[in-house]
Amino acid sequence: MGLRMDMSPRQDQRMILAPRMIQSMEILQLPIADLQAKIEKELQENPFLEQKEKHGESDEAPPDFNPDAPLKHDTTGDLEFSRLDEMNRDWDNHFNEEHRVSRGAMDEEGDRKLDAMANMANRPQSLQDRLAEQLGELELDEDQRRLAKHICSYVDRTGYLGSREKASEEDDKDTFRTVTLAEIASTYDIVVTEEDIEETLTDVVQKLEPPGVAARDLKECLLLQINSDTPYRDALRILVRDHLEDIANNRIPVIQKATKFDIPTIQEAIEALHHLDPKPGLKFAEVETRYVMPDVIVERTDDDDFNIRLTDEWVPKIRISKRTVDLIKNKDLDDKVREELRKKLQSADWLVKAVEQRRNTLLKVTRAIIEHQRPFLDIGLEHIQPLKMQQIADQVKVHVTTVSRAVDDKWVQTPRGVFPLKRFFGGGKENKQTGEDVAYEVMKQKLLELVSNENKSAPLSDEELVTKLNDSGYPVARRTVTKYRKMLKIPSSRQRKDWSLGS
């Protein structure tokens, strides 16, 4: 039986998104700060966009404006030829394959680079900067200083001697790999022994700030930070050296039996442990501070209703520039320039409409959400309602993916606080006592309440939490309670037990 290849027609249906639709979806998904940056960038780059300066200025495009229609040549009237010539020159330069930068432009670029270098002085000091600075201040012979610098080059951003690598592109977590003394020695430019590396590491590098730097594991990192000023230092050294796992699992009786310390001493030592830094290098890491800027504000009115408005006062209001549209109708424009200008004009038109569509969609979606979550606003988080995105999509007559994009990375300011819009969505189950649907979020709050009010000398197990939740009308399984407990970062019952209160 032989193989045969032939061609045959086939019909199928595929959704092909037009550029305009793609742009609309991208604009809808942008949070307010990113939208402002996007519009400001487009105002600089697209000559067909202009910012409305005055309230009451007309938003209407020219009467004969159609970005998709052929542009008519205007041969009458006095045109601003200087502006037109300038546009022609700009586009000629754009298409010129041999771009030449003028001396003035080079000087300007050089000034910008100098400014950037000057601003680097304000850059926060990195961990490597701090280590190098200290090595420069120590009285070391040149060979030891060079070797210490080589060892410091293996200190990762958290302060450990090793490297961190992502398991995969999809996985946000990284894995730590300790570097061996042999590896450090093999990469040095002269022959050194592992003993030489160990001596310089312990006598020089590990005595640098921050305390705990260049450790090879957590235990060594913590031990390096214990000094004569550390409370309960002798007990703490023993606990760190021999009982870190017992501490993590709150096995206080095991520690007491092994060390002969009384429980108050053990607890004081553990309290001192909490003041040590398990990742000392991170205090030098550049952390981007992100401020939450709500996209929507929900305010209670005098008649006990809610007013919903967007926080887009600072976003530039844009429209199509009638002046620029008129200029490109001139017959003297090069055809290639005219075609590129047409694309710019079309892009400007799409952006204006996409921004307005984003505004309308976000308002409609938020209004629908608030209608469903009125009990939350009136009473509190324990009354948040189960809500699916499909319900909102059906109510405002859009696709569910539109709702998803509208609420993505958006925040709303309410009388009860600032929340991500996605917080108002979630499933639920029927309360067996009341017959009403209860949101999973409410069950989590009930779980928190039970744990906060439990007897700390005998914390509730997951099985006991299930029983209490079921008795309150919340039908949950043990695995669900365990999942919620971990989501809420609630330790296990063994870890929550306060041994100082007795058994």
Q: For 456-502, what is the HEC assignment?
A: CCCCCCHHHHHHHHHHCCCCCCHHHHHHHHHHCCCCCHHHHCCHHHC
Contacts of 167 (CB under 8 A, 6+ apart): 173, 174, 175
pLDDT score for 77: 35
Cα separation, 377 vs 53, whole angstroms: 37
Beta bridge partners of 164: 176
Contacts of 309 (CB under 8 A, 6+ apart): 296, 297, 299
pLDDT tens digits, the chain, 503 residues: what are they?
555 665 656 655 544 456 777 888 899 999 998 999 999 999 999 989 999 875 545 555 554 445 554 444 443 333 333 444 444 444 444 444 434 444 444 444 445 444 444 444 455 788 999 999 999 999 999 999 999 999 999 999 999 998 766 545 555 566 778 889 999 999 998 999 999 999 999 999 999 999 999 999 999 999 999 999 999 999 999 999 999 999 999 999 999 999 999 999 999 999 999 999 999 999 887 655 567 789 999 999 988 889 999 998 888 999 998 888 877 777 777 888 888 888 888 899 999 999 999 999 999 999 999 999 998 888 887 788 888 999 999 999 999 999 999 999 999 999 989 999 998 988 766 666 665 667 778 888 889 889 999 998 889 999 999 998 888 888 888 998 999 898 888 998 888 888 876 65
State the chain's mean pLDDT as an integer: 81
Cα separation, 398 vs 219, whole angstroms: 56
pLDDT score for 109: 45
Dig out the tokens for 418 from the structure: 């600032």
CB atoms within 10 A of CB 415: 10
Dig out the tokens for 91 from the structure: 């586009």
CB 152 within 8 A of CB 210: no
Which runs of E-coded beta strand occur in 279-331?
296-300, 306-310, 318-320
pLDDT score for 366: 95
Q: DSSP code of 157? A: T
Cα separation, 473 vs 329, whole angstroms: 72
CB atoms within 10 A of CB 455: 10
* Domains of the chain, start order: 20-67+81-88+286-426 (no CATH), 127-284 (no CATH), 428-501 (1.10.10.60)
H helix runs in 314-439, sequence order = 322-327, 335-372, 374-378, 389-396, 400-407
Tell me which amino acid residue 254 is. Answer: V
Q: Shortest CA distance to 446 belongs to which of 420, 417, 476? A: 476
Contacts of 304 (CB under 8 A, 6+ apart): none
Cα separation, 133 vs 285, whole angstroms: 16
pLDDT score for 413: 94
Q: How far is CA 271 from CA 63, 239, 394, in A?
A: 75, 12, 54
Cα separation, 265 vs 256, whole angstroms: 10
Pairing relation of β-strands 428-430 and 437-439?
Answer: antiparallel
The widest CA-to-CA distance across the chain, in whole angstroms, is 102
